[in-house]
Amino acid sequence: MRRNLENFSRAFGKLSPEKRKELIGLLVQEVRYNQAEGKIKLILRPLPDLGWSVNGDEISFDESQNWLRR
């Protein structure tokens, strides 16, 4: 899990703002706001291990995974 998060962080850092917004929309299922506590809770979609690989400026992943919503 730690490796996946590190790879995700590096890959996310290389994306344009538009692509970051698109990716967050794919990852976040729901946003809940508790006004009484002033807290936001993000509900994430369950995702498989995508096989992220970051090598220098190149980002790749196992494209055989079919997890994106249509």
Q: CA-CA distances (angstroms) from residue 20 to 12, 35, 38, 64?
A: 7, 27, 25, 22
How far is Cα 66 from Cα 70, in angstroms, rounded to an integer? 10
pLDDT tens digits along 25-70: 988 999 999 999 999 999 988 766 666 676 777 777 666 555 555 5
Domain boundaries, the chain: 2-60
Instruction: Tell me which residue has tokens 């509900």.
Output: 43
Take residue 23 and report the two structure tokens written for it. 């990716």
Q: What are phi and psi of 55, to 5 degrees?
A: -130, 100
Mean pLDDT, the chain, as a whole number? 81
Take residue 40 and report the two structure tokens written for it. 């936001």
Question: pTM for the complete prediction?
Answer: 0.52
